[in-house]
């Protein structure tokens, strides 16, 4: 393990914005992680654990140590008619792991195909797409506590999962490093194909036998049609969370905009599309120099070349202000801004 100084982070974030780290290292196992965390040189330094860099926006240099988590490995812990329990290293590429599960005949993650990032980020963000959240299939999360330098395991309930949220984003923010995640999958779990975009895909293609493999194929095709490839255009996927509003407010907006769709969260709350709100404000496709709102999906802010992190942040704040002014709904950022 090598500690580097003043390293550019441009290739380590999917927005491809320029920023540098005071110190930088890559760790491949728990021993290397423990070694760098307990090193007296870095004990008082700020620490940033980096996975795929797909949910980060750097607006300035990082004055501390960036630790790139490359802990790998996939271990099948148990398998029976009811469940398949798999332990996966935090540094594994998320979509490659999903592909592995689908090709192995393990159900549960196919709707989460093609989400960028690493396995370790999945519980932190409680990633979700097309009717599925990763909390539905996480059994436990293992990691390293920065408070007492000890390993700890969190059960599903202890993770305090919420919509794009978890204990790791709140009480344990900057206090816990995910080293592996244990998933509870199945070989015969019923697939979830009732999300509108997926239903339309199968209807258009006349596909009636819906398997996990077909779900994965559909999700990949849908995502590619709407979302830019971060390898080609800098972006971090959805920049904003879909807001949850009262049913009363939902009905009020729908009376003015009949095309508004919503998904009931509980008896009094409805989740609506942040992208729809942004589009209704006439912002879809807007561009200022090298930063813009993607013309195929208004939820996505893109770096067309040499935009700075501050330029991207400024546009995000402007979008939030315009939506608040028009709809009296405050959008929350999904991307972690540093």
Alpha-carbon distance of 166 to 185, in angstroms, equals 20
Domain-wise residue ranges, the chain: 4-69, 74-185, 196-225, 234-337
Summarised one tens digit per residue, pLDDT across range 99-157 is 999 999 999 999 999 998 899 999 998 999 888 999 999 999 999 998 888 899 999 99
Burial (CB < 10 A; 0-12, 13-18, 19+), residue 208, is: exposed
Query: Are residues 20 and 8 in contact, defined by beta-carbon separation less than 8 angstroms?
Result: yes
Summarised one tens digit per residue, pLDDT across range 198-235 is 888 888 877 878 888 999 998 999 999 888 888 889 99
Query: Are residues 269 and 162 in contact, defined by beta-carbon separation less than 8 angstroms?
Result: no
| In the block, residue with structure tokens 């299939």 | 137
**3-state secondary structure (DSSP) of residue 95:** helix
pTM of the prediction? Answer: 0.83
Query: Are residues 331 and 243 in contact, defined by beta-carbon separation less than 8 angstroms?
Result: yes
**Could you tell me how far CA 86 lies from the centroid of its own chain?**
20
Options 1.20.58.340, 3.90.78.10, 3.40.30.10, 3.40.50.300; CATH of 234-337 = 3.90.78.10
Q: What is the CATH number assigned to the segment(s) 74-185?
A: 3.30.465.10
Summarised one tens digit per residue, pLDDT across range 292-308 is 999 999 999 999 989 99
The two tokens of residue 251 are: 């009905």
CB neighbourhood size of 196 (10 A): 11
The CATH class for the domain spanning 4-69 reads alpha beta
**Which residues are known to be catalytic?**
164, 238, 334
281-283-288-294 Cα dihedral, nearest 10 degrees: 150
């Amino acid at each position: 393990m090598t500690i580097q100084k003043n390293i550019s982070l441009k290739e380590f974030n999917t927005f491809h914005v320029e920023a540098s780290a005071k110190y930088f290292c890559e760790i491949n196992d728990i021993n290397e992680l423990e070694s760098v965390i307990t090193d007296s040189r870095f004990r008082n330094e700020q620490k940033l654990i980096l996975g795929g860099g797909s949910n980060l926006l750097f607006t300035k240099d990082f004055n501390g140590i960036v630790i790139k988590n490359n802990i790998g490995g996939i271990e099948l812990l148990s398998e029976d008619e009811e469940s398949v329990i798999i332990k996966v290293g935090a540094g594994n590429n998320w979509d490659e792991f999903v592909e592995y599960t689908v090709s192995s005949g393990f159900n549960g993650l196919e709707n989460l195909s093609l989400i960028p990032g690493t396995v370790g980020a999945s519980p932190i963000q409680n990633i979700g797409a097309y009717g599925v959240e990763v909390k539905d299939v996480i059994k436990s999360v293992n990691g390293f506590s920065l408070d007492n330098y000890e390993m700890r395991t969190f059960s599903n309930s202890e993770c305090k999962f919420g919509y794009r949220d978890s204990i790791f984003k709140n009480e344990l923010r900057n206090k816990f490093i995910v080293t592996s995640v244990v998933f509870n999958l199945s070989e015969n779990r019923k697939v979830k194909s009732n999300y509108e975009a997926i239903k339309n895909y199968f209807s258009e293609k006349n596909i009636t036998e819906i398997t996990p493999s077909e779900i994965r194929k559909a999700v990949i095709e849908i995502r590619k049609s709407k979302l830019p490839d971060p390898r080609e255009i800098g972006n971090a996927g959805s920049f904003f969370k879909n807001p949850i509003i009262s049913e009363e407010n939902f009905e009020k907006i729908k009376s003015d905009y009949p095309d508004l769709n919503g998904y009931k969260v509980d008896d009094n709350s409805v989740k609506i599309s942040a992208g729809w709100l942004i589009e209704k404000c006439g912002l879809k496709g807007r561009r200022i120099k090298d930063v813009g709102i993607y013309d195929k999906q208004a939820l996505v802010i893109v770096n067309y070349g040499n935009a700075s992190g501050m330029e991207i942040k400024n546009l995000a704040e402007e979008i939030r202000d315009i939506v608040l002014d028009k709809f009296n709904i405050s959008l929350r950022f999904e991307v972690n801004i540093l």
